[in-house]
Structure 1
Amino acid sequence: MKYYLIVGEASGDLHAAHLMTALKRHDPEAEFRFIGGDNMRTTGGTMLRHYKEIAYMGFIPVLMHLRTIFSSMALCKKDILAWQPDVVIPVDYAGFNLNICKWLRKIKAEKKPKVFYYIAPKIWAWKEYRIKKFKRDVDEMFCILPFEVDFFQGKHNYPVHYVGNPTADEVRKFKSKYTETKEEFCKKHQLVPQKPIVALLPGSRKQEIKDNLSTMLEVADILPGCQYVVAKAPSVEINDIDVPMVDNATYELLSHSDAALVTSGTATLETALFDVPQVVCYKTPVPKITRWAFDHIIQCKFISLVNLIADKEIVPELFADRFSAESISSCLVGILPGGKKRKQMLDEYKDVHARLGNESAPENAAKIMMALLK
Structure 2
Amino acid sequence: MFRLYSLALIVAFAFLTATPALAERVKDLGRFQGIRSNQLTGYGIVVGLPGTGDDNLEYTIQSMKGVTSRFGFQLPPNINPALKNSAVVMITAELPAFAKPGQRIDIVVASMGRAKSLRGGSLVLTPLIGADGQIYAMAQGNLAVGGLGAEGADGSKIVVNVPSSGRIPDGATVERAVDTGFASSPYLTWNLARADFTTAQRVATAINARYGGGVAQAVDAVSVTVAAPAGAELRTRLMGEIENLTVDAAEAAARVIVNARTGTVVINSAVRVSPAAVTHGKLTVRIDEAQRVSQPAPFSDGQTVIEQQSSVGIEEEVKPMFLLDPGPRLADVVKAVNAIGASPADLVAILEALKEAGALKAELVIL
TM-score in same-fold range (> 0.5)? no
TM range (shorter): under 0.3
Q: TM-score, normalised by structure 1?
A: 0.21
- Greater per-residue helix proportion: 1
Q: TM-score, normalised by structure 2?
A: 0.21
- Greater per-residue strand proportion: 2
Structure showing greater Rg: 2
